[in-house]
Structure 1
């Protein structure tokens, strides 16, 4: 098999190419995203209309939300963002399994008697709950088995056991599968994907119980993603983030080295387009680039690579201009071998909407000229609609990404 590097002109967006993908999404392109959280949820759902082959590498290092209690109880990676992306890509039509989707999207009440919540989980495991009864066999037996296994591990009847208040059933199923499969996430994600007919590939960037730590411009070090995002009740940052790394726990912020898994490296090297998308800049995008080997794998992947900066407010970007964001992105992408990996190896395009987008410090006119010297082009396209402002409209973003494939 011969490999050729071709150069061609493209139209952004190219309606003919997008229509071809829409008619045959099973043959659609392998667009790979490094992301987490919910920022790409709607874009992922829309993208599934055009391709069933997108790849989503998700950060498992979050330490907030309901999945944080699972991490604390079982010393495991975060699964909330994984569940969120799986749900975004799930087939919700009758061709999929809408009853399974409804169960995985269900959350236990945030308030109420703990014993009653434990009884609800028991009813689910025994097949007595309406959410489980609606699922056809043999899928019902699989779901019941996972919930039953979770109950066995959780110690719900103990004061120090898992607190089920506000817990997502999807997260519970993922946690149970992780514990049943020798603490590996990939097997349960595979089963989960089949249960809800996920139209794409979703994988954690790592299968390790690690956390994030950042250093601020004033010298302070903050451990734990939930402490520096400025969201969900966390105090806003008062100084710029200058560095980020992996650590053992929010209270043990010593840097930890983590190697990229071979199976994830293969997903990267077979991509037809790589996107560093919108989302929390450090805790969602950069976090996925921290394992050593990610930059080298990207440098070896000969396909277009595009950065889509946030157009709305991101508390993590305090003090960051658009130019500084690109600089920080390149620093982490080249970290494996700064002398050998050039900016052009890991980034081709920065996609902006200078008219509709709101960028920290504004969209500098000098950005295109400065990046041109690195071999990187700024693509200025309509991305923000009147309905989506100030955020990016997935109906404008996805046709551009598809056209670059």
Structure 2
């Protein structure tokens, strides 16, 4: 395993000539629907650095969309995955099982909120996890309806596109979508019309009223929500909103599903973002940060709910692949050994004051928000709350040119999001913030 020097280095323009050649090959061979945020082709990565084929080293504030929280080549992940590769790559857990799958399920039972008996089922992607959580909830409740929220994102399969709020690029042209999905308001404090101080109470009241009137609570199998809306703009619902929705679900026999795919595994400074308000979800969906970059996802929850599906009703050929399970055990080992919850909190302590100082300088920054190492700035036309996606794209482009990987998101395309690896050095963190400040000054 080669160590990647932990310093930014630009030897060509970004993207360089070799990356441009490879992009031409990509255009000829890969479907146009598979987009690219930053067209640099990677040769190696680790810590807080991505190195491309032209020899440029970029600071990583994206983590492959919150996947490589332990770094792109964490020692324990590589060691455990390599050892498993040498033994066997696959048998299919549903045919002849193996211990790694069981061990991951045991770790998930230990780490997720609540001390009730828990079980898990493993899959390949976040969308699969959400889809299976809905299947399990329907099997348990014998009810059809699923409630989701404005600004929510839950995946790209047919059912999870229906659950996802934003049309472009996730849903445009791909319908019709799965039925019995209902959308209700989210307590988006920054954009709540009567002000953030009223958002939790009013949004919860509206959501509950809509469920009762338009669906009937007795017909709802599951309420599915991200504790912090990810693709929707890193929106942390106004404090008090999530507990009210969870209590409503409990009172009405509805399975409360926390989609922790982007927020889970130390990203927000706790193992799971649900813990910030003391939530104990019935089911939790996880993926992204779970396995240090290998494809793995899970549904974990109350044993009596998880056991509702009949034998053979859950699974998939690759679900809980042995190499991915080994990687997950290595990622969890790394998170514990390095106390990545504390590292995530420290990243927030460094980033948030710097970004708030920028907000004072640059009136285009409407709000700075986030928890731990899941941080965003929402950009608006100065003096208004009118979203400014053009400036957002320009700032991101300037960061990319300077050797910093940043991502955008948001229902209105006007949010810059920062997801640095939790193992990034503070020198790189501060250098990345300098680049962001220069980008705002330049734009």
TM-score by length of 2: 0.26
For CA contacts below 8 A with separation 6 or more, give which structure has more relative contact order. Answer: 2
TM-score by length of 1: 0.28
